[in-house]
Structure 1
């Protein structure tokens, strides 16, 4: 017996992870984009209803649940391993902006960071970063000191307590996150940008070809009609970073990403938003 409305009962259910923290303001961006993709493809595939699970998940736990068919969609930065074990919908969800990381720092250390002019100087400091995020592997590979943290909200706490020196966030994430209540002592230091290729993808179970087809078709349609770019530029969590020319005087530190799939740069749908060059 269905306890929901007749309309919802007739829809496909797409199960997703909950937000890791109220500080994780970028979470709503992906929920809204996923719903837009489902709505865009509803004529062909039928209506779909997003259901959010209740318990917060680490990235490793989220991928395990995806493999066990307890989740239907999981979004994350890509890697060789993840694309081997899951179906990746290889249209970047934020136009490649995720791989432009800006340090979130304590305001009282601004003068200290303002003196940094080289990668070597920044490498002497300790960055808080997600223990299971691909970014941690990338930063460590490039010689940066990392404190791996399992809890998202704890990274802000550790930064405020100066148990680490900075928290590298995607440029699409940092400003909205620092703007949440309780982080008045923090700021985004966007005079430095750590840049490496790391797209955020929707992932689905290896055997869920129909959903992968639907998400791919929807994203490509949004890409073709310009609505994906409009979504990125006008969503509440990302709109404040545009125009990107505001970062043209930032110091760009280029990093190598050793966990990218071998065919990454040849992919047809590498949709990158124009960004100031080095």
Structure 2
């Protein structure tokens, strides 16, 4: 074998190896039950992308501010959160709603013994007399404030449960899939899920990656679109315990629903793709 043939063989071997090499993706360690569903969706999208990826969590769960900083500097590879125009300008979004828009159906966590306060909320004006709690950097904060709802904020997700228990605000709006597991986790704080109200706005949660990694964004999107086309995304959504348990508990059809606008959505939001969104109208009557 001459030198030229040997070099060509070596290049061929290296090319073959690189094509099957596994790329490690760092993500923010899960801190909530809902993350098990998100991880299942991400793993499904990566598997169907046709590329080899290995997911690795951070050593601990980071705050939103650190996650965004690490995603910007490349220390973190993938991040999921409710979208906003600002986020979509800062990172590369994969514009497929992970929860099919369910994140925008908000049910409240309240202090035990305060259900009566919410039983007397008969109009949106009544709701505006109460104060909500939200994360300081969350898009929800601007959405609620823009609708005239008073909002108290904290930098850390966990702090909001203690602030609610300390009566720093009246209620903590959570995605419809979130409050029951959170009340159970913080059982020492004597919180409960409010029984009669739902606040609704368009609020897709996306996967985001660094702007310098368009290949990863394309791979996740390709895997996602494959899963949508072959039905596996819907099967995962409607069979995952995080979703099924919520739809069993939420009693959506019995709740008074108040809709507000989300002025932070970008023009690229795939609102016209009906297959990407859960039809809340089909499971809940609306108060208009």
Q: What TM-score comes out, normalization by structure 2 length?
A: 0.85
Question: Which structure 2 residues correspond to residues 179-194 of structure 1 after superposition, within 5 A?
Answer: 179-180=184-185, 182=187, 185-194=190-199
State whether residues 161 and 186 of structure 2, in contact with CA within 8 Å, keep that contact through their aligned partners in structure 1. Answer: no
The offset of 1:245, in angstroms, is 8.8
Higher mean C-alpha deviation, range 209-218 or range 177-186: 177-186
| Rg (Cα) greater in structure | 2
Q: Which has the higher helix share?
A: 2
1:252 aligned onto 2:257: yes
Q: Give 2:149's match in structure 1, choosing from 144, 148, 152.
A: 144
The offset of 1:200, in angstroms, is 0.1
1:25 aligned onto 2:33: yes
Gaps of 5+ in 2: 1-19
Q: Give 1:178's match in structure 2, choosing from 183, 194, 204.
A: 183
The offset of 1:146, in angstroms, is 0.6
The equivalent residue for 2:5 is none
Alpha-carbon separation, structure 2, partners of 1:82 and 1:277: 32
1:27–1:117 CA distance, 2 compared to 1 (3 A): same
Question: Which structure 2 residues correspond to residues 147-162 of structure 1 after superposition, within 5 A?
Answer: 147-162=152-167
Q: Give 1:45's match in structure 2, choosing from 51, 58, 70.
A: 51
The offset of 1:183, in angstroms, is 5.1
Alpha-carbon separation, structure 1, partners of 2:103 and 2:271: 19
State whether residues 176 and 250 of structure 2, in contact with CA within 8 Å, keep that contact through their aligned partners in structure 1. Answer: no
The offset of 1:219, in angstroms, is 1.1
SS of the equivalent of 1:228 reads helix
1:179–1:263 CA distance, 2 compared to 1 (3 A): same
The offset of 1:163, in angstroms, is 2.1
Q: Would you say how many aligned residue pairs link Structure 1 and Structure 2?
A: 264
State whether residues 134 and 154 of structure 2, in contact with CA within 8 Å, keep that contact through their aligned partners in structure 1. Answer: yes
1:234–1:126 CA distance, 2 compared to 1 (3 A): same
The offset of 1:106, in angstroms, is 1.3
State whether residues 165 and 189 of structure 2, in contact with CA within 8 Å, keep that contact through their aligned partners in structure 1. Answer: no
State whether residues 193 and 253 of structure 1, in contact with CA within 8 Å, keep that contact through their aligned partners in structure 2. Answer: yes
1:83 aligned onto 2:94: no
Alpha-carbon separation, structure 1, partners of 2:236 and 2:112: 31
State whether residues 233 and 242 of structure 1, in contact with CA within 8 Å, keep that contact through their aligned partners in structure 2. Answer: no
Gaps of 5+ in 1: 1-8
C-alpha RMSD of the superposition: 2.1
The offset of 1:64, in angstroms, is 1.9
**Any idea what the Cα deviations from partners look like across 1:195-241, whole Å, max 9, x if unmatched?**
11010000011121111111001111221222222222222322212
**Any idea what the Cα deviations from partners look like across 1:45-101, whole Å, max 9, x if unmatched?**
12x111111243222321221111111101011111111121110010000000111
State whether residues 66 and 204 of structure 1, in contact with CA within 8 Å, keep that contact through their aligned partners in structure 2. Answer: yes
Alpha-carbon separation, structure 2, partners of 1:179 and 1:238: 17
SS of the equivalent of 1:83 reads helix
Alpha-carbon separation, structure 2, partners of 1:200 and 1:183: 30
1:38–1:262 CA distance, 2 compared to 1 (3 A): closer
State whether residues 109 and 179 of structure 2, in contact with CA within 8 Å, keep that contact through their aligned partners in structure 1. Answer: yes
The equivalent residue for 1:204 is 209
Runs of 4+ in 1 over 3 A off after TM superposition: 243-246, 265-270
